[in-house]
Structure 1
C-alpha cells in the first residue's frame, strides 16, 4: 500500500473510502496517558472542531494537574471521563480501563495520544473490533530500546503500532524518526503538522511580569516554558545564564520559568548551588500563558529533541523574540522565521543566541506575526486531521471537503 501523505486529492479519496459509524453518532475514545502541554493543546483544538450532535467523545487519562486543565477546557465537549490514579500502577489501570470502557460503549474509534497510550490500548485492540489510530507526540531514541528490557519494549510498541489503522506524526522530522525505528508501518503513516490558536496569542494582553513577581524593572526577562526533564535542556539555559553573568559587562537578566516536572527540585537545587537563584523565578501553574509570553523580552527553548513543539508557534504569533535549538522537530518549526537558532546541548551557543535575540529586538518578530498566524493556524491542522482521518472519524462536516488548505 502506498504511504499516506499530505496530498489533498489523495487524502480525500482515502478519507471517503471507509466508514465505521454508518450515519449514527460516532463514539470516539481518546486515550491520554500523559496529558502534557502539547497533547492537551492538540486535543483542545481538535475535539472542539467536531459537531457534538454527530460525535461523542470519552477520555481516559492520568489524574494529574494537566488532565484537570484539559477537563476545564473540554468539559462540555466530552461525555465521559475516566481518570487513572498516578500511583505507580498506571499502565495496569489504563489497560483495564480501556478494555472495560470499550466493552461497555463499543467505540467506533479508539484514538491513542502518545506511545505509552497506544501500548495501553493493545489488549482492547486485539480483543475487540474497534479500530485504533495513534498520534505520536514525541520522538524515539536508541537508548530507549537498549538491553533486554528495551528490546521487549520495542516489540510491544511495534505490536501496538501494527494494530493501528493510521499512525499520525505531527512533523516530518517526527515521522522520519518513527519510521527509522519501525519501517514496517510506513504504509499507514501520515503527517499533519501541529498548529495553535493563533488569534489568542496575537491578541493577548501583555502581563507585567516584573510587577507580578517583584523583579527588578531594569532586568531583561528570559521566558522558559516547558517541563523540567532532560529532553527540554533546561540545564543548558542555566549554564548559558552563568556564562553571560560571568562576563565583566553583561545585561541584567532574569529567567522566569513556567512549567512543572519530576526534576524541578533538582534543577532549583543546582541553580542555588551555582549561586544563580537571584536570576531565576519559578512561576505557579498557568493554564493560559499567552499574556506571560508577551511579557518576556526573549523566550528560550533549549530542547535536545522535539516532535513538533507548539511553544515557538505561540511565541511567534505573539511577536516575541525567540531563540531555540537546531534539534529535531524544533528546527522544522523555526525554519523560515526570524527566530535565532543555537546549537543543541551547547550552552555557549545558547548564551550567544540569547544576546543576539535581545539585540535584535521585537521589530522583526512583530513584522512576522501575520505570516506566523497564517502558517501555524490550528484550524488548518484540525481540518487536515479531520480529512485525513475521515475514514474512521466519519461524517466530517461537508464544508471541510470544499475548503482550500
Structure 2
C-alpha cells in the first residue's frame, strides 16, 4: 500500500503542449490533489508553441514542477533522447505519456527501465493517416508498442472502439484499456470574468451581426473546409448577409483556408482572432458555436460551450456524437456543408427558443462535464498502479 504522505513523481512527455492536450492537462491535472504529485513536464518547443507553453506552466503552478524542454529540428529524436536521459538519471514512480507518438517513443525507451506507464490517447485514427505502404506492418508495430504500456487511457467509448478497429491486435490487451471521459473546469467557466470584451467591438463585427464561433485547429479533419462551404451556401443561397464567423484557432492550413475564403468572396464573413488564453468571454458573447469535425476523440470545446450556455451545432461524427448525446445540440451530417448550413439557418430562425434551451441545460452540463470526475478516476488509477508496481 502506498503511504498517503509520499509524493508520487510523474514524468509527463508531450510532443507539443498545444490544443486539446494542453487543456486536458489544465483541466484534469488542475483537479488532482496537487500535494500528492511532483510533475516533470517534457516537451518540444518552438516559437509557434511558446504562448501555449507559458499558459500550461501557469495552469499547473500549484504543483512542484520541473520542466525539460527539447528543441531543434528533429523533435522525435530529441524526445527519445530526453526520455532516456531522464529515466536514467531520475527515479520516477510513473510515466504518463500524452498522445500516440509520445506513447510509442516512451514504450521503446522504457523497455530498459520498466517504469509504470500510462498512455492517454487524445486522438482517433484513420487508416490513411498510417499510410498505405507497409500498412499491416505499421499497424502491428504500433499495436505492440502501445500494448507495452501498463494502461492505455482512451477518452471516450467511441475512441476505444476506433482504437480496436484500427489496431485489432490490442483486443488481446483489453484489460489494459480504460475509458476516462474528458471534462472541463466548470467553476472556471461559470465564474466571473474580469475585463471581458464585447464581441461586437471586434473589428469586422457589427452590432447587427449574428456571430458564429469556430474554436479549433485549421485542418481538414476539424472540418473547417466544411464550414467555409456552409457559409457560402448561407450567403449565396440563403442570402444571409448579417452572419459572421469568428475564428479562434491555429494550424498549418490557415493560409490556404484564408486564400479559399478570399477566392470565394467570403472575406467579409470571416474574422480571425489571435490566441486567447481566456475564451470565456467569447463563449458567452457569441450566438452559436459550430463544430464541423469529421472525427474526434472527446472534444473539449462542446463541453466548454454547453457549460457556458452557448448553443451548439456540430457534426454527428465519432467522438462528438458521444459528447453531445442527450443535449440540445443540433447535429449535422459529417462532411456535408449543405446540411450544416441548414442546421445553422434553423438555429438563426428560432434563436430565442434555442438560446433558452441551452440556458436551461447549463446545470446539467455542469454536473455532466465536471473535470473533477475525470481527475478522481485518473488519480485512483495512478495510485493503484504505482502501489501495485511497488
CA distance in 1, matches of 2:364, 2:212: 24
* Residue 132, structure 1, aligned to residue 125, structure 2: no
Aligned CA distance change for structure 1 residues 248 and 55 (closer, same or farther; 3 Å): closer
Paired residues of 2:32 and 2:376 also in contact (CA < 8 A)? no
The range that moved more, 208-217 or 185-194, is: 208-217
Instruction: State the partner residue of 1:173.
Output: 158
Structure 1 counterpart of 2:174, from 154, 162, 186 = 186
Aligned CA distance change for structure 1 residues 51 and 376 (closer, same or farther; 3 Å): closer
Structure 2 counterpart of 1:154, from 125, 129, 139 = 139
CA distance in 1, matches of 2:238, 2:78: 56
The range that moved more, 90-99 or 25-34, is: 25-34
Any gaps of 5 or more consecutive residues in structure 1? 1-17, 396-405
Paired residues of 1:59 and 1:78 also in contact (CA < 8 A)? no
After TM superposition, the score normalised by the length of structure 1 is: 0.88
Any residues of structure 2 matched to 1:366-377 within 5 Å, and which? Answer: 366-377=359-370
Q: Deviations over 1:189-221 (max 9, x none)?
A: 111111001122234546411103341211110
CA distance in 1, matches of 2:192, 2:200: 17
* Residue 99, structure 1, aligned to residue 89, structure 2: no
The range that moved more, 111-120 or 351-360, is: 351-360
Aligned CA distance change for structure 1 residues 25 and 333 (closer, same or farther; 3 Å): same
Q: CA RMSD for the aligned pairs?
A: 2.0
Structure 1 counterpart of 2:202, from 202, 205, 212 = 212
Any residues of structure 2 matched to 1:1-400 within 5 Å, and which? Answer: 24-63=6-45, 64-65=49-50, 66-85=52-71, 87-180=72-165, 181=167, 182-203=170-191, 205=193, 207-247=197-237, 249-361=239-351, 362-392=355-385
Aligned CA distance change for structure 1 residues 241 and 163 (closer, same or farther; 3 Å): same
The range that moved more, 44-53 or 66-75, is: 44-53
Q: Deviations over 1:162-199 (max 9, x none)?
A: 11111111101001111222323212111111100112
Determine helix, strand or coil for the equivalent of 2:385.
coil
Give the drift of 1:23: 6.1
Paired residues of 1:31 and 1:113 also in contact (CA < 8 A)? yes
Q: Deviations over 1:299-321 (max 9, x none)?
A: 10000000000111110111111
Report which structure shows greater RCO (CA 8 Å, sep ≥6). 1
Q: Deviations over 1:46-91 (max 9, x none)?
A: 3233444432110111212323321222244252111222x43111
| Equivalent residue pairs, number | 376
Q: Deviations over 1:18-39 (max 9, x none)?
A: 75x8963211001111323221
CA distance in 2, matches of 1:230, 1:28: 34
